[in-house]
Chain A
Amino acid sequence: EDKVVQSPLSLVVHEGDTVTLNCSYEVTNFRSLLWYKQEKKAPTFLFMLTSSGIEKKSGRLSSILDKKELFSILNITATQTGDSAIYLCAVDATNAGNMLTFGGGTRLMVKP
């Protein structure tokens, strides 16, 4: 059974801090790993990672994948209160057809 585990479950930081969110997975026939940000409503797509060692960046957010150790990290530098959200990691495995397996999410709260 495919499994995706995120840590920590929740995190409280102050504005300006840097945070690292973790996602580990156990799947057969890995295809890609995706990160989503969920504020009050629908999760919104952040990154898709398919290759090890290639960092994806978008502003203060960056993510990298390690296919040997089966994990990914999402870094947020100089956090702002608007970064407060649940961050979801999901894995697409070819044996699962088009389905994504989601982790439990990390709830990030950034205090002013």
Chain B
Amino acid sequence: DVKVTQSSRYLVKRTGEKVFLECVQDMDHENMFWYRQDPGLGLRLIYFSYDVKMKEKGDIPEGYSVSREKKERFSLILESASTNQTSMYLCASSLPGGSHRNEQYFGPGTRLTVT
């Protein structure tokens, strides 16, 4: 079974703090993703990585950065947290493009509150 884990289930931070969200997957997947989920807006892609040290911006990258130093680990960084970044953050991983099964496997999510 694919396992995707995230470092925290709940996190409360203050405005202006630097925040690290960690994601680890154990299936040797090349692709990893960070989404945020807000009511009525579904899942919106923040960043995507298709290999170590490789990243691509998603739909809403502003205010975020990412790091992928090892294949199994993908970190999301909020350089200076703001209240509009209060959200549920979901990490996912998948096999590389071209696979006949391209579904993404999700972690349990981190609910971040910025006060």
In contact, A102 and B42 (Cβ under 8 angstroms): yes
In contact, A100 and B104 (Cβ under 8 angstroms): yes
A103 / chain B contacts, CB cutoff of 8 Å? 42
Give the distance in Å from the alpha carbon of A90 to the alpha carbon of B35 in the complex.
13
A94 / chain B contacts, CB cutoff of 8 Å? 97
Give the distance in Å from the alpha carbon of A34 to the alpha carbon of B104 in the complex.
10
Give the distance in Å from the alpha carbon of A94 to the alpha carbon of B97 in the complex.
9
In contact, A92 and B102 (Cβ under 8 angstroms): yes
The number of chain B residues touching the other chain, given as a range, is 20 to 34
Kindly name the residue among A32, A42, A90, A92 whose own CB sees the greatest number of chain B CB atoms within 10 A: A42
Give the distance in Å from the alpha carbon of A42 to the alpha carbon of B111 in the complex.
12
B103 / chain A contacts, CB cutoff of 8 Å? 34, 45, 48
Identify which of B33, B94, B106 contacts A42 (C-beta below 8 A): B106
| Interface pairs (5), CB distance under 8 Å | A34-B103, A43-B90, A97-B56, A98-B102, A104-B40
Known contacts A100-B45, A102-B35; 5 further A-B pairs (Cβ under 8 A) = A45-B104, A88-B43, A90-B43, A97-B97, A105-B42
CB-based closest 8 A-B pairs: A42-B106, A104-B42, A102-B43, A41-B108, A45-B103, A98-B97, A102-B42, A98-B31
